[in-house]
Structure 1
Amino acid sequence: MQNNSSNRQKPRIAIIGGGVAGATAAVHLGEQGLDVVLMERGPSLVNGPPICHLHAGGNLYREISQQQCLDLLRQSVDTIRLYRHTVNKRPTVIATPITDPEHPQALLPRLEAVKQAYQAMVQQDACNAVLGAPDEYYQLYERADLERLRLSSQPQEPACMDDWLIPFAKHVDLDLIQYPVIAVQEYGWSVFRLAATAMLTLQQLPHCQLLTNSTLVDAQMRDGQWHLTYHDEDSQPHTLVVDYLVNACGYETGKLDDLTKNPQYRMAEFKAAYIAKWPGEDSLWPEVIFHGQRGTPQGMAQLTPYADGVFQLHGMTKAITLFDDGLTRSPLHSSQPILPDVLQMKLTNGWPDAVVEARTRHAIAHIGKFMPDYCRAYPDGKPLFGAQQIPGEDETLRAADVSFSGHNYARIEIVKGSSALEAARKLIAHWQLADHSTLASIEQQHPISLSHAADRVEQFAIELAQARGYPVELAKIIGC
């Protein structure tokens, strides 16, 4: 057994779990000069539920509160400033089918509130203008506008919202949607470039130790410190003594809660997104959302563009993104929700090829109902999938960050990745870990994170995508 502890004046913080939450916490704490150990059981960081956009303003969710939308906007702006090479700068188009009981006009008051909040953020700090000009945050399109754009050719580099809407206008059956159609400056987010940025940063931070292929097996509080036991990739045991313990274990957060005797009620939901190639389609696409009632056969359809005709697909139906019994809750005796065996098998052993084929085909057909030519698309890789924890009892919760329990124990439970930086800030504030000025900008606080060149991040992201068995197109920079 090895003991990695030593007498230190600085407190030592262990973060268990290297997803978006754990990786971002390690980056933020490490940039403040704190002594951090990040433990991840996989070979690299940020492997988890599918990420495809920031949810700036929560525009895709009709069911969440306006306050959550404003929280997500603020968090997303900060996230872009920290992870500047991870976004794909293209808008999102929100269309409401004629079969949907809601009307697109119902979204406008919330969009206006988010636009005004973004305007205030930019007036306060010009560096917040990361979602384009506030006056152009969203734009409405009537049918006549789309009919006009249908006759246009998209320029090689789209320069305005109209340019981005051209492929949508050409391919969508305009008889099947209500008007206005809404285009919003909601950007895409590359999970692979996020992983690359975090790993490149942690490699350069002298006070950060990254333990990949490492699994925590025990955690005991003794004499005011956490004594951790973990196994490396060769199943060899090691010990680690730290002052603070951060649980960033994603959907398995409850297991560490149980181990440390810090109970917390939560839910977990298994979700998946699918990868398809649209042959011969070389337009620069916005993301496209066709609203629908969650969990019904008419659930929301989502088309997320990547490079070279590759798209990520969601469909909020139980034949596509959602699953029977996919939303579970903590039982009486444990903080850890238990997924059905068939879903747990997907997490541990992967997917049968026939299931991947069938669900991807369902997703293609779901988009094809509104865009007939998309039915020519074909499956192009394994799904992006994972289970997502939701603290508490509100399954519509989207803006969540951190909670504290026991002695020097915290759990970061984010539903959307853009909440991770806020959670990390709260760790420092609650535990008074650093004596730095809160007036320092994100850029001043994160010089290493912001030093990476875009092409270096992209190349490392491509390597991560290849290592994980995904199309490299998911890692490439798109948009302008």
Structure 2
Amino acid sequence: MTKESSKIATTTSPTIGIVGGGMAGSTIALRLSELGINIVLFEASKTLVNGPPICHLHAGGNLYREISDEQCLTLLRQSIDTLKVYPQTANIRPTVIAIPTRDSGSPDALLPRLQKLQDEYATLIKQNPSNNVLGAAEDYFRLYDRESLEALAQKEIPKSAESLDDWMIPVAKTLNLDEFKLPLILVQEYGLSIFRIASTVSLAFEQLTSCTVLTNTRVTDIQQRQDKPGWDIEYQSADNPKESIAVDYLVNACGYRTGTLDDMHGFQRNRMVEFKAAYVTHWSDCQGQWPEVIFHGERGTPDGMAQLTPYPDGYFQLHGMTEEITLFKEGLVASTAKSAQPMLNSLFNRKLTDKWYRDEIERRTAKAVEHVAQFIPPFGNATVAGNPMFGAQQIPGDDPSLRAADVSFDGDRYARAEIVKASSALTVATAIIEKLRDEHLLPAELSIADSEINEQFPVTSALPIDKIISLAEHLAEERSSPTALARPVG
């Protein structure tokens, strides 16, 4: 879906250049172009929203017991807005948190945070009923003790889960409760489909004439304009000669490559980059609909967290927070005084260009299956079902546990999107709109506060779900993933 550069809009509206068409860049472009602002979006890959294996909404950050309560509350608020704008991309199923007896944590330690999140969610619904996108506030989380789990274990697994208890039945029937600290916790942490996100933004851009999307296009240089404020962007599409375009404002949304654009203009910025991978499996003996299940563990050790993310038809995405599965030795690197771009070694650069060796895929997927099967023994029969879902994640600053991050501004008319989680992308877009108004690039009367966030996306909101799913399935096939990963859950 590449538009020729000759079709770039030329009106009195400012032109915003956005480098990087991942979750952040595509969402910013969508947000601004829905307002009629001229956008030129550059993406080096052939399609939009590639990169790290997005699979969670993170409505409260409950997968991360090590992060602050404030980050969790921020992620909750951001996730609500994300669901309102991208409702077609959500997989509506809960997440179960289980703490093994070998782990040092306890369910009681998680309850104060969960109560804060539940109270905040109830407050947000009271302020605006449209914020009720995660179910009733009183059901934001639920505890299951031994008695209730043993009762559920006696029930038949329904083909389709209609209640919170229904989601818990396969868990109760499969887990050895003696191996866990009870209660188990069910929380409304939904899933996100990276393929339906990519499909949604691609279909919307086809209708938004104010946005020019240049895929298969690499930005080779940026320079501040000499004659007026703004930037000259030099770029090259495929084998074509280099071209350039002047823009009034530049947004760096390059993801893990954000430092490369900083280096082009000499901006200093401390950041880290971490390479991660998740593994796609098929469990042919799967019965009923499973929730996501998180088995807590100490990150980076052989007992690191295990994560089972469900998709239709017995397909599952697996994470294991060990160096043999999701994490990698030397996979976390930092910027230096000489460069704002953290440098991964050649092993990761090979993987990032989608050149995994087959034995790597088999070995790491087998380790992931084994890691989950510790707790769900029947899952040991699961098999490799596709290429890993992988990418490098940027983390601004020097705290590797940071999860709620959004945007920073530097120099003249330059913004960096620095999201760690997909749900933060809309916050970046809104902050950039406010910055453009402050710098008088947008009219002061342009109001984004007087209407619902989803009402500011009329084109996106009107997209038919069948078209979104159809294109998502095509994108999944193109990326060597099962089409089941593109279809809705719940």
TM-score when normalising by structure 1: 0.98
Contact 1:266 1:393 (8 Å CA) reproduced = yes
- In structure 1, C-alpha distance between the alignment counterparts of 2:112 and 2:277, rounded to whole Å: 31
**1:202-213 matches, cutoff 5 A:** 202-213=205-216
Contact 2:9 2:210 (8 Å CA) reproduced = no
Task: Report the residue type matching 1:180 in the other structure.
Answer: P
Q: Which residue number in structure 1 is paired with residue 278 of structure 2? A: 273
Give the secondary structure class of the aligned counterpart of 2:102. coil
Which residue of 404, 409, 414 corresponds with 1:409? Answer: 414
Task: Tell me whether 1:100 sits opposite 2:111 in the alignment.
Answer: no
Q: Which residue number in structure 2 is paired with residue 257 of structure 1? A: 262
| Cα shift at 1:3 | 7.7
Task: Tell me whether 1:86 sits opposite 2:123 in the alignment.
Answer: no
Task: Tell me whether 1:463 sits opposite 2:474 in the alignment.
Answer: yes
1:249-280 Cα distance to aligned partner (Å, 9 max, x none): 00000000101222211000000000010012
**Contiguous gaps of at least 5 residues in structure 2:** none
**1:52-451 matches, cutoff 5 A:** 52-222=55-225, 223=227, 224-432=229-437, 433=442, 435-451=446-462
Give the secondary structure class of the aligned counterpart of 2:390. strand
Give the secondary structure class of the aligned counterpart of 1:179. strand
- In structure 2, C-alpha distance between the alignment counterparts of 1:341 and 1:218, rounded to whole Å: 23
- In structure 1, C-alpha distance between the alignment counterparts of 2:409 and 2:118, rounded to whole Å: 33
| Cα shift at 1:7 | 6.0
Distance 1:88 1:366, change over 3 A: same
| Cα shift at 1:8 | 3.5
Q: Give the count of matched residue pairs.
A: 479
Give the secondary structure class of the aligned counterpart of 1:180. strand
| Cα shift at 1:341 | 1.6
- In structure 2, C-alpha distance between the alignment counterparts of 1:10 and 1:355, rounded to whole Å: 50
Contact 1:3 1:240 (8 Å CA) reproduced = no
- In structure 2, C-alpha distance between the alignment counterparts of 1:362 and 1:285, rounded to whole Å: 21
For structure 1, which segment, 445-454 or 303-312, has the greater mean C-alpha deviation from structure 2 after superposition?
Answer: 445-454
Task: Tell me whether 1:35 sits opposite 2:64 in the alignment.
Answer: no
Give the secondary structure class of the aligned counterpart of 2:278. strand
Task: Report the residue type matching 1:155 in the other structure.
Answer: P
Task: Report the residue type matching 1:234 in the other structure.
Answer: D
Contact 1:4 1:241 (8 Å CA) reproduced = no
| Cα shift at 1:127 | 1.0
| Cα shift at 1:345 | 1.3
- In structure 2, C-alpha distance between the alignment counterparts of 1:191 and 1:15, rounded to whole Å: 20
Give the secondary structure class of the aligned counterpart of 2:56. coil
1:453-472 Cα distance to aligned partner (Å, 9 max, x none): 21111111001101111110
Contact 2:53 2:391 (8 Å CA) reproduced = yes
- In structure 2, C-alpha distance between the alignment counterparts of 1:207 and 1:2, rounded to whole Å: 13
1:375-410 Cα distance to aligned partner (Å, 9 max, x none): 010111110000000000111110000100011000
| Cα shift at 1:155 | 2.7
Deviation >2 Å, runs of 4+: 1-8, 154-157
Task: Report the residue type matching 1:128 in the other structure.
Answer: N
| Cα shift at 1:6 | 7.8
- In structure 2, C-alpha distance between the alignment counterparts of 1:19 and 1:357, rounded to whole Å: 28
For structure 1, which segment, 439-448 or 95-104, has the greater mean C-alpha deviation from structure 2 after superposition?
Answer: 439-448
**Contiguous gaps of at least 5 residues in structure 1:** none
Identity across the alignment (%): 49
- In structure 2, C-alpha distance between the alignment counterparts of 1:325 and 1:448, rounded to whole Å: 43
Distance 1:133 1:29, change over 3 A: same
Distance 1:256 1:418, change over 3 A: same
